[in-house]
């Protein structure tokens, strides 16, 4: 079995685990365990809290002391145990702590899976810009298949979803034993204090272009959190209108939302072309404009014949919005850093997006939704237009702040201009 096939299997299982519970866990907690909305929000906040620290910390360990595939194995073993225990919990406070343990182990595996893929492709003499996106697309397929599996098996309100995720984590941990060895960085005779502590990746903030990149990674991470948090409640709220109460969108909002992940599959495969043709700056700008369209189309979409078209278009542009930022950003970080800080740099990127960005996005977007709500009724059109304006402002500021010149000869990335 060639290395790309093996990496595709790893990517598929990585995101199958997440898709098994991420979308449906809230429904189980509310409808079966009778948790309040605040309880569910507290449990889900564990992801952002864990992502602030753990990806960078585990990345440092993988760079300095423990081979990446071994760190990956240990993390998934912890996930398997935590998810299995979570399936037996019925108290909100304990559920938060158990899912925090799971998040502390799982969030680093996203960056580690990228690190393993890049290193293996490099060892095989393959171009990462060309070969990584087709590997990563199997992760999106895994997420979609897991989500549909849980739904079609009628497990959305059952703890079986957590047992399936736990079993998948255990299987992936065992699979990690078969992955190629990822060498840790060689110790140098003369090392700075930052190097000894494994903080090399944070030195990237001293480079203006990387500081700007990570800042906007955080700001776009906030945008991603907005759509993840409020997309489903928005669609459910159409039930307030008698004309839409029994519509397909109100009854099966997750199926419509899954089109967003399906769109990712297409756009991931276009990343090599767009990076090589236009470079990272233009690709990031495309992502920000796509986020603006995502929210703008939400603002005017509804379950009517015309409105459904707008909602479907919003799902389609999500693929561009997510992939052209998240996946292309990961490729950019890989190209910009040296091999001895590869894992910690990927961990830092994950921290800015899914940690700080997710936490800030959850708080500020929640405040915005409450501000435009009257007696529990949300003015969704205004809310989405505010979020669209935010994405537009990011686009304009990024255009003037990120000074980068594209060079097609450099694998679709770029050279610095000062």
Over residues 74-103, mean pLDDT? 94
- Select from 107, 11, 15 the least CA-distant residue to 357: 107
Residues 1-181, CATH architecture? Up-down Bundle (1.20)
Token representation of residue 55: 């990806």
pLDDT in tens, 95-138: 999 999 999 999 888 878 888 888 888 888 887 767 787 888 89
pTM to 2 decimal places: 0.72
Query: d(Cα 347, Cα 277) in Å, to the nearest integer?
Result: 27
Spatial distance between the Cα atoms of 72 and 105, rounded to a whole number of angstroms: 9
Residues of the chain with CATH 1.20.1250.20: 1-181, 198-418
CATH number of the domain at 198-418, out of 1.10.3720.10, 3.90.1150.10, 1.10.10.2120, 1.20.1250.20? 1.20.1250.20
pLDDT for the residue 37: 58
Instruction: Give the pLDDT confidence score for residue 406 in this predicted structure.
Output: 62
pLDDT tens digit sequence for 338-382 = 776 766 777 778 778 878 887 777 667 777 877 887 876 889 999
Q: State whether the Cα torsion 44-48-53-55 is positive or negative.
A: positive
Q: What are phi and psi of 405, to 5 degrees?
A: -115, 130
Decide if pLDDT at 409 tops 80: no
**Residue 298 to residues 6, 231, 256, 301, 358: CA-CA distances in angstroms?**
38, 9, 13, 5, 20
pLDDT band at 56 (very low <50, low <70, confident <90, very high): low
């Amino acid at each position: 079995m060639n290395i790309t096939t093996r990496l595709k299997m790893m990517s598929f299982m990585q995101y199958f685990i997440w898709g098994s519970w991420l979308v449906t866990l809230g429904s189980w907690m509310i409808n079966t365990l009778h948790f309040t909305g605040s309880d569910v929000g507290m449990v889900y906040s564990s992801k952002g809290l864990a992502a602030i620290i753990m990806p960078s910390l585990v990345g440092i360990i993988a760079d300095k002391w423990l081979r990446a595939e071994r760190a990956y194995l240990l993390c998934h073993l912890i996930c398997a145990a935590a998810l299995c225990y979570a399936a037996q919990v019925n108290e909100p406070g304990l559920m938060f702590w158990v899912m925090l343990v799971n998040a502390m182990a799982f969030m680093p595996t996203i960056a580690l899976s990228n690190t393993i893929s890049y290193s293996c492709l490099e060892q095989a003499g393959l171009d990462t810009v060309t070969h990584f996106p087709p590997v990563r697309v199997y992760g999106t397929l895994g997420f979609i298949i897991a989500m549909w599996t849980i739904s079609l098996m009628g497990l959305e309100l059952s703890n079986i979803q957590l047992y399936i995720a736990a079993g998948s984590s255990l299987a992936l941990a065992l699979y990690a034993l078969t992955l190629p060895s990822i060498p840790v960085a060689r110790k140098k005779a003369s090392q700075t204090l930052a190097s000894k502590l494994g903080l090399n990746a944070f030195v990237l903030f001293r480079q203006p272009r990387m500081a700007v990149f990570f800042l906007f990674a955080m700001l776009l991470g906030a945008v991603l959190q907005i759509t993840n948090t409020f997309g489903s409640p928005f669609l459910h709220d159409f039930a307030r209108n008698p004309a839409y109460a029994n519509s397909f969108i109100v009854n099966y909002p997750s199926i419509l939302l899954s089109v967003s992940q399906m769109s990712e599959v297409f756009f991931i495969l276009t990343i090599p072309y767009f990076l090589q043709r236009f470079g990272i700056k233009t690709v990031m700008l495309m992502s920000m404009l796509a986020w603006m369209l995502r929210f703008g189309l939400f603002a005017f979409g509804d379950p009517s014949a015309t409105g459904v078209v707008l909602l479907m278009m919003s799902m389609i542009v999500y693929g561009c919005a997510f992939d052209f930022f998240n996946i292309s950003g990961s490729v950019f970080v890989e190209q910009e850093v040296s091999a001895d800080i590869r894992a910690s740099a990927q961990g830092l990127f994950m921290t800015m997006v899914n940690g700080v960005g997710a936490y800030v996005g959850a708080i500020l977007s929640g405040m915005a939704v409450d501000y435009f709500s009257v007696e529990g009724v949300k003015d969704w059109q205004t809310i989405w237009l505010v979020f669209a304006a935010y994405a537009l402002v990011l686009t304009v500021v990024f255009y003037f702040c990120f000074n980068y010149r594209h060079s097609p000869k450099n694998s679709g990335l770029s050279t610095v201009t000062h």
